[in-house]
Amino acid sequence: MSAWRCEAYDQRNRPPLAADFALQAETRERPAIGAGALLLRLTLLVGLVGAITSQAAAQSSSAPDAAPPALTMSVAGANSTADHSLFTQLAGPFESAQEVNQACLSCHNTGAEQLHGTTHFTWSFKPETAADSAAIAPLGMRHVANGFLLSTPSNLGACTSCHIAGTRFDEPQMFDASSGPAAPVDCLSCHEPTGQWTIANFHEGGAACAMCHDERLSGDTPEINDFAAVARSVGPTTRASCGACHFNADGGAGVKHGDLNPDLVNPPATLDVHMAAAPEGAGFTCSTCHTTTDHVLAGSRYEGGPSQTPEHPALSGAAASCQGCHSATPHSNAASGARLDRHTDRVACETCHIPSIARGETATRILWDWSTVGKLGRDRKPMAQKDEDGRITYATEKGTLAEAGNVLPTLVWSNGRLMQQRPGAELPASVATNTGTNGDQVEGGDLAALAAAFADAPWVANYDGAAADAQSRIVPVKVMHSVVPIDAESHALASVLFSGRSGDALWNRFNWENAVASGMEAANLPFSGEVAFARVRQTIPVNHMVAPADQALGCNSCHAANGLLADLPGGLLPGRDGPAWLDKAGLAILALTLATVLLHAMLRIGFAIFHRRARHD
């Protein structure tokens, strides 16, 4: 668990203090106190109060503008009691990362066993809180479909280049810790603080360049040759080490997550007030909220509804939550705090405090049209086209693309349950399909036009929830728009083989039928032999890039006819719902009432003055 602690959590779990026993003693019956003993106790009490007052005054005068001492000290994090740079076991020399891992495990001898049971290792998540979890197919990157790189089962050889086993495998058995020989682990993937090891290891694994890059780049790939220096640098996870994977998920920097990208390695407070360095920010690392027990990290998009979090603080091991630190009444000190706190049971904190995503230098992908893949340049080689801002709008291996910055999240009802489709899931029979390329028909540059073009598209991932569901809240999400391959006959989501030595791989010969046939075979799914394309949508949760309080949404952002909640179904929202004439009539009645009251008061005052003068005359 992180060294940082919420003050409320520490108070609940700290050992008893002397003051606690003194308080208990005061509540028990005891013999009468003599005058001498009473005087001694009063002297001690005055001295204790004086000492505490002096210490507080000293702290106040030395740092009047600093954050509360508990938060400042805890966010910085107490230094580890182990300096790995001094360990003889890590002095080297090492010929490979596997030798470094063995040196780590010579001390951390239960680490591999713990890691083998985590979602980070298995890429699989089995809901345990569902009423009938046995009947629910497992979720996780290894199983689900998406609108980015489509599916993992058919591309294990490339995808597992960044698996934390540290070794590239082509077989699903690598995810089974009970298989022999025992599955390895790669400690450096998470504990090398710069994240450069993970990037170098991915390139060493031999994955196709197009897995991450939209265009062919020149120059050498990253390498790490001094394994001993890397071993001596290990420590707690950092934003850079976590971000080496999570900031670049599904095809490059910021592609998948609008609220997670390399800008968060060293962000200003305006981008993320939690991750920014003190004093402007709180200096959080990822593990401040995503606490760890036995290598199991708290917080998952698959489990933990927003309404559950007030009773399960993040820092006591439950899903990471705002309420875990800020409580369910976070606005109690604000002038209009009581009114704002009435929102927290139906509106997630992120809804107001993350006004937009991709606010830094890195944009996020909003459109991926696979149907246009395969167009070559004049030299008959893969090429990339860019817009006037330098953003790639077409890539031979990826198809038609669109990115945007400073994107307003879409607000939806969510009870925390993610409805996720898998390869082979059949889309509705009514879904519009086009066996040719339809990229030119999709308007990707305009967010409003893009949303309109996909208004009837089915979801491959979306959150369950409704206004009538007491467990649901309004939450922000990023909506991804994709044109993906499907089986033309069954409308099943296709699994595609992208790369490899096989001539059937899409990026080798750009033959969709062969690539889907090989991908469906790898996923053990039937295929009719014909490919079509369909528009789909996907929701991505938004939890990061929390803005400073003075940049949070105002009341009129939602309580207006054309506000952010204009298209959100359900509920009765003042300022949005109801006939306009009724609002005007109500205001007119209110104005008439006030005028009548004022007139009545003026008449009372006038008659009082008149009668007073009459009496004097």
Q: Tens digits of per-residue pLDDT, 272-315?
A: 999 999 999 999 999 888 888 888 887 766 655 444 444 433 33
Percent of the chain surpassing pLDDT 90: 37
- The mean pLDDT of 25-50, rounded to a whole number, is 42
Chain-centroid distance of CA 589 in Å reads: 47
- One-letter amino acid identity for 474? I
Predicted confidence (pLDDT) per residue in 173-196, tens digit: 566 666 555 567 888 889 999 988
Predicted confidence (pLDDT) per residue in 342-370, tens digit: 888 889 899 999 999 999 999 999 999 99
Q: What is the pLDDT of residue 77?
A: 37
Q: How far is the C-alpha of 499 from the C-alpha of 518, rounded, in Å?
A: 11
Helices marked H in 250-373: 286-289, 323-326, 337-341, 349-353
The dihedrals phi and psi of 154, each to the nearest 5 degrees, come to -90, 0
Q: What is the pLDDT of residue 55?
A: 41
CB 117 within 8 A of CB 452: no
The DSSP annotation for 236-275 comes to: S--HHHHHHHHTTTTTSTTSS-TT-SGGGSS--TTT-TTT
25-34, 430-439, 492-501: least confidently modelled range: 25-34
User: Would you state the structure tokens that stand for residue 430, as one six-digit string?
Assistant: 């009514």
Predicted confidence (pLDDT) per residue in 591-615, tens digit: 999 999 999 999 888 888 877 776 6
Q: For the chain, how big is the Rg over CA atoms in Å?
A: 30
Question: How many separate helices (H) and strands (E) can be counted in the chain?
Answer: 20, 12
Beta bridge partners of 490: none
Predicted confidence (pLDDT) per residue in 240-257, tens digit: 999 998 999 888 899 999
Does the pTM of the predicted model rise above 0.85?
no
Predicted confidence (pLDDT) per residue in 99-125, tens digit: 898 899 899 988 888 888 888 888 888
Residue 413 predicted with pLDDT over 60? yes
Residue 410 predicted with pLDDT over 90? yes
Residue 15 predicted with pLDDT over 50? no
Percent of the chain surpassing pLDDT 70: 76
| Domain extents in the chain | 84-353, 364-557, 579-617
Predicted confidence (pLDDT) per residue in 549-575, tens digit: 999 999 889 988 888 998 888 877 787
Q: What is the pLDDT of residue 313?
A: 36
Q: What is the pLDDT of residue 504?
A: 93
SS3 string, 43-93, reads: HHHHHHHHHHHHHHHHHHHHCCCCCCHHHHHHHHCCCCCCCHHHCHHHCCC
Q: How far is the C-alpha of 401 from the C-alpha of 106, rounded, in Å?
A: 47
Q: How far is the C-alpha of 488 from the C-alpha of 434, rounded, in Å?
A: 9
Q: What is the pLDDT of residue 586?
A: 85
> Which helix (H) or strand (E) element contains residue 509?
helix 506-509
Angle in degrees, 0-180, between the axes of helices 196-204 and 239-246, rounded to the nearest 10: 30
Q: Where is pLDDT greater, at 448 or 317?
A: 448
Q: What is the pLDDT of residue 170?
A: 52
Residue 70: band (very low, low, confident or very high) from pLDDT cuts 50, 70, 90? very low
Count how many residues are written for the chain: 617
Predicted confidence (pLDDT) per residue in 569-593, tens digit: 887 778 787 777 777 888 899 999 9
Q: How far is the C-alpha of 147 from the C-alpha of 142, rounded, in Å?
A: 15
Residue 617 predicted with pLDDT over 80? no
21-35, 357-371, 416-430, 489-503: least confidently modelled range: 21-35
* Listed ranges 189-203, 423-437, 485-499, 566-580; the one with the highest mean pLDDT: 485-499
Q: What is the pLDDT of residue 366?
A: 94
Ramachandran sector of residue 86 (left: φ over 0; alpha: ψ -120 to 50; beta: rest): alpha
Q: What is the pLDDT of residue 276?
A: 96
Q: How far is the C-alpha of 298 from the C-alpha of 250, rounded, in Å?
A: 22
